[in-house]
Amino acid sequence: MGLHKTQFKGLAGWFDARMPTAMAEYRKHMSEYYAPKNFNMWYVFGALAIVVLAIQIITGIFLTMNYKPDARFAFESVEYIMRDVPGGWFIRYMHSTGASAFFIVVYLHMFRALLYGSYRKPRELIWIFGCLIFLCLMGEAFFGYLLPWGQMSYWGAQVIVNLFSAIPLIGPDLSLLIRGDYVVSDVTLNRFFAFHVIAIPLVLIGLVVAHILALHDIGSNNPDGIEIKDRLDSSGKPVDGIPFHPYYTVHDIYMLGMFLMAFFGVLFFFPEMGGYFLEWNNFIPADPLTTPTHIAPVWYFTPYYSILRAVTSEFMWVLAFGVLAYGVLLYFALRAQLARYVALGVAVVAALLMLPASPLALDPKFWGVVSMGASVMIFFGLPWLDQSPARSMRYRPGWHFWFLIAFAVVFLVLGYFGTQPPSPVNQYSSQVGTILYFGFFLLMPWWSRMGEPKPVPDRVTFAAH
């Protein structure tokens, strides 16, 4: 009859005979996906990110039912959702808390990758998909933030879109193209709404699928950084692997409970989270004629915002000599003749475009934008920047671990100063932070090779429960 021969009975059998793919995929990704048995708490954030994505999509659908993407009604309609729509406040706070939770979860997920070398060969593509997801997430957050049409929505969008105008030649036209108007206006609100509710989410979901498919093809890394597929039992399963379902599904459900306690703790008792999740100024309706004295993006963007603000005309000297020194370093470090000259040449040209004394110097604002962009894009390079012989921090020299912690502290300090109004202390700290931030990544090919790695065991470290 052309039906697929099935081993299942009843409804499952009926279904399997007509769509064998479903069962095959279930096996591939759940019941017969072998994950290392030594996962720790750090490995829950991928699953949590999916949960938060689902929260954002579902609450987003309900918000769209009552939100009005119109400059005259947007602010009012958000408050209407919060006050007059039954359960509306719950949906809206889910979405606003979810936005911050998404970044917390994703930052911890990325930190896990740095801790255990999850981006190392052969998982570079998984990491690249992940970085693209992160970029989409940033775009999604940026576009979404305009929608409540408060003062911070408005002026934050104004500042960020204006950054593009710093790009030589095409800049002013580009920012006009993004805004669709000469200032942020109803036109901008409408196109940002379109990006936020359909364009970016579509790309985001596609990338999440690619991220997971690539992961399940290669298999997960683990805290020991050992390939479990190197040791198979007689039936061809990894000896240190266990089926994702049920072992990690029950584990993730348990951790989901913990996460939801924190999530709903914030949502029900501190939905503004002291002005970090919902900025106070954003409860003032957007007013194109009144610029707030202090414009700060939401906390998850502030590390990069600090880097943007750190680049002043005096700092250009530091930046120019830094780039030049890095070019010289690459010249001596690279083996291929062509690469050496290209590296040095690019560094010299960049330094000429940076040095305030040079006639070719470009506006420091432009370099601020470049630095901010580079601070995000540099994550893509990690699989190639990290040259440590051991994958996991467990078997790398102890000070490597403390370097990573120092980086995390620098990231948080930059983030903190990004929320604060400009001041000399703020500027100086951000500049030091910027140097350390880039130093961590750009010097990684050298420092990650230094020191004596500890012996890596053959089998994963695991104590039965």
Instruction: Report the alpha-carbon distance of residue 5 to residue 24 in Å, rounded.
Output: 13
Distance of CA 245 to the CA centre of its chain: 27
Smallest separation (angstroms) from other proteins to the CB of 56: 19
Pick the closer one to other proteins by CB: 51 or 361: 51
Instruction: Report the alpha-carbon distance of residue 417 to residue 429 in Å, rounded.
Output: 8
Instruction: Report the alpha-carbon distance of residue 53 to residue 98 in Å, rounded.
Output: 8
Smallest separation (angstroms) from other proteins to the CB of 32: 16
Helix (H) or strand (E) holding 117: none
105 burial class (0-12, 13-18, 19+ CB within 10 angstroms)?
buried
What is the C-alpha radius of gyration for the chain, rounded to an integer number of angstroms?
25
Smallest separation (angstroms) from other proteins to the CB of 47: 13
Smallest separation (angstroms) from other proteins to the CB of 118: 16
In this structure, are residues 185 and 319 in contact, taking their beta carbons and an 8 Å threshold? no
Core vs surface per residue 388-426: b (16+ CB within 10 A) or e: bebbbbbbbbeebeebbeebeebbebbbbbbbeeeeeeb
Pick the closer one to other proteins by CB: 140 or 252: 252
Catalog residues that contact other proteins under the rule CB under 8 A.
37, 76, 79-80, 82-84, 89-90, 242, 246-247, 250-251, 253-254, 256-258, 260-261, 264-265, 267-269, 271-272, 274-275, 280-281, 283-285, 398, 401-402, 405, 408-409, 412-413, 416, 419-420, 462, 464-465
Pick the closer one to other proteins by CB: 401 or 428: 401
Pick the closer one to other proteins by CB: 183 or 253: 253
Residue 216 is classified by DSSP as: H
Phi-psi region of 333 (alpha: psi -120 to 50; beta: other; left: phi over 0): alpha
Pick the closer one to other proteins by CB: 14 or 254: 254
Smallest separation (angstroms) from other proteins to the CB of 116: 12
Instruction: Report the alpha-carbon distance of residue 306 to residue 311 in Å, rounded.
Output: 9
Pick the closer one to other proteins by CB: 21 or 40: 40
Smallest separation (angstroms) from other proteins to the CB of 275: 6
In this structure, are residues 97 and 268 in contact, taking their beta carbons and an 8 Å threshold? no
Smallest separation (angstroms) from other proteins to the CB of 91: 11
Classified as helix, coil or strand, 431 is: helix
Smallest separation (angstroms) from other proteins to the CB of 317: 27
Instruction: Report the alpha-carbon distance of residue 414 to residue 410 in Å, rounded.
Output: 6
Pick the closer one to other proteins by CB: 26 or 89: 89
